[in-house]
Amino acid sequence: HYRDFMKIVHGALKDDGLFLLHTIGGNRSVRGTNPWIGKYIFPNSMLPSVRQISKAIEGLFVMEDWHNFGAYYDKTLLAWHNNFENNWDKIKSNYDDKFYRMWTYYLLSCAGSFRARKNQLWQIVLSKKGCPERV
């Protein structure tokens, strides 16, 4: 449904507006997500590929910029994990051990996925008609 989403954004965006798409992406086109991620973290999610995003925006937008922060995102996830560990004693009365294991697994496995460059973190700036003077 990427194309449908982009059509809605296009219709809502002012003619001289900019749209920033901030998304985690994958290196290959897929039609589903990791079953564990889909069940426990992001239901009904999917990581788009460059091809899927490009196809969805073709003819609707001018790509002003596409930046990949993926090479650094493992550090963010490891910092989140460190904060989670350092504060667990303060919050553990609100959660069970299953949550602790699940969140630890999620943060560390995602950090590994970014470090291995299997996932990317993209910020894509799009305009309707182009605006080189603003970017």
* DSSP summary character for residue 64: E
What separation, in Å, do the N-terminal and C-terminal C-alpha atoms of the chain show? 28
Residue of 21, 46, 47, 110 marked active site: 110
Cα four-point dihedral sign 48, 51, 52, 55: positive
Known catalytic residue: 110?
Answer: yes
For 77, the enclosing helix (H) or strand (E) is helix 73-91
Counting Cβ atoms within 10 Å, is residue 122 exposed (0-12), middle (13-18) or buried (19+)?
middle
Name the residues annotated as catalytic: 110
